[in-house]
Amino acid sequence: MAAAFTDKMIAKKESGIGWMIFNQPAKHNAVSMEMWEAVPKILDDFMADETVRVVVLRGAGEKAFVSGADISQFEEKRSSEEATKAYNAMTDKATTQLQSLGKPTICMIQGYCIGGGVSIAMSCDLRIAAENSKFGVPAAKLGLGYEYKGIKKLMDAVGPSFAKEIFFTARQFTAQEALQMGWINRVVPTEQLEPYVREYAGTIASNAPMTVAAVKTIVGEALKDESKRDFDLMKRVVTECFASEDYKEGRTAFMEKRKPVFKGR
């Protein structure tokens, strides 16, 4: 089943996987305002559907995941301080919702992952890239200011020195360089990217959803300053796992030497 929130954003569901596809290949999937606005709607739909266990993001075509923001809209959408604030609020809403989604997310990267594409990728839990991928944040070539949240998100993954290198040089990095920095989780041969991601997502989808969600919650809290961590929440999600039907099913399946069938409750 597929749904289109705009013809430039496609959502579909297959075998426990929710696919969110950036669909503007003629512009290397540069993200327009309409595309940013569609992201939270798609994620809300995936979150409400119990059959969706994992969310995978990808770009249409073979040349790019997302090459950044649609610069053709800058004059209209980002030319004044007020317009820039509105644009930034929308992009922040989309990436924040993606990062805090209660289901695991995988970014499938082929070709260019630049600027806003990096922000989207870094908001996902896992990043799997093809060998032909290119990564970069060209803010210093455009004179853009980059806000704290975006820099912090990248720095949490690659560390302060690599984060500075990425921003200072504004150059493009290869998939192998990105892997070395911890920017991405895996690099696979380009022709194997989609089957690899499908298998990886299927592996996650077959595991206990409450356990996966609890780990995501706790990692998210651990990344916060200690004074802001919700220790009661972390304790509660673990307790809920032990009290779940899935925990009983996991134990029973282990004893019966069969694959467990988890329901997420």
Q: How crowded is the C-beta side of 58, counted as CA atoms within 13 Å?
A: 21
Residues 136 and 58 in one domain: yes
Domain endpoint, select from 164, 184, 205: 205
Other CB atoms closer than 10 Å to residue 66's CB: what's the count? 28
Residues 65 and 187 in one domain: yes
Residue 261 lies in a domain: no
The domain tally of the chain equals 2
Domain endpoint, select from 205, 225, 246: 205
Query: Is residue 100 a contact partner of residue 44, using CB atoms and an 8 Å limit?
Result: no
pLDDT (0 to 100) of residue 89: 84
Residue 143 lies in a domain: yes
Q: Which domain holds residue 222?
A: 209-255
Residues 213 and 149 in one domain: no
Query: Is residue 56 a contact partner of residue 14, using CB atoms and an 8 Å limit?
Result: no
Sheet holding 105-109, edge to edge: 2-6, 9-14, 17-22, 54-59, 105-109, 126-130, 186-188
3-state DSSP assignment of residue 260: coil
Query: Is residue 126 a contact partner of residue 185, using CB atoms and an 8 Å limit?
Result: yes
Residues 152 and 246 in one domain: no
Residue whose C-alpha is closest to residue 206's, from 98, 18, 54, 45? 54
Domain endpoint, select from 163, 179, 205: 205
pLDDT (0 to 100) of residue 1: 42
Residue 76 lies in a domain: yes
Residues 103 and 224 in one domain: no
Residue type, 136: G
Torsion, Cα 185 188 193 198, to 10 degrees, reads -50
Whole-angstrom distance, CA of residue 89 vs CA of residue 15: 33
Residues 128 and 105 in one domain: yes
pLDDT (0 to 100) of residue 13: 95
Residues 244 and 147 in one domain: no
pLDDT (0 to 100) of residue 43: 96
Burial class (CB in 10 A: 0-12, 13-18, 19+), 256: exposed
Residue 198 lies in a domain: yes
Residue 65 lies in a domain: yes
pLDDT (0 to 100) of residue 3: 47
Residue 262 lies in a domain: no
Q: What is the pLDDT along the chain (265 residues), one digit of tens a residue?
A: 444 567 899 999 998 999 999 999 999 999 988 899 999 999 999 999 999 999 999 999 999 999 987 666 555 555 567 777 777 888 888 999 999 999 999 999 999 999 989 999 999 999 999 999 999 999 899 888 888 888 999 999 999 999 999 999 999 999 999 999 999 999 999 999 999 999 999 999 999 999 999 999 999 999 889 999 999 999 999 999 999 999 999 999 999 999 999 998 8
Residues 85 and 130 in one domain: yes
Residues 137 and 45 in one domain: yes
Residues 40 and 93 in one domain: yes
For residue 46, give every residue at least 6 positions away whose Cβ sits within 8 Å of its Cβ, in sequence order, or none.
Answer: 11, 13, 18, 20, 52, 55, 101, 103
Residue 260 lies in a domain: no
CATH number of domain containing 123: 3.90.226.10
Q: Is the dihedral of CA 155, 212, 5, 64 positive or negative?
A: positive
- Name the region of 172 (left: φ>0; alpha: ψ -120 to 50; beta: rest): beta
Residues 121 and 160 in one domain: yes
Residues 95 and 27 in one domain: yes
Residue 88 lies in a domain: yes
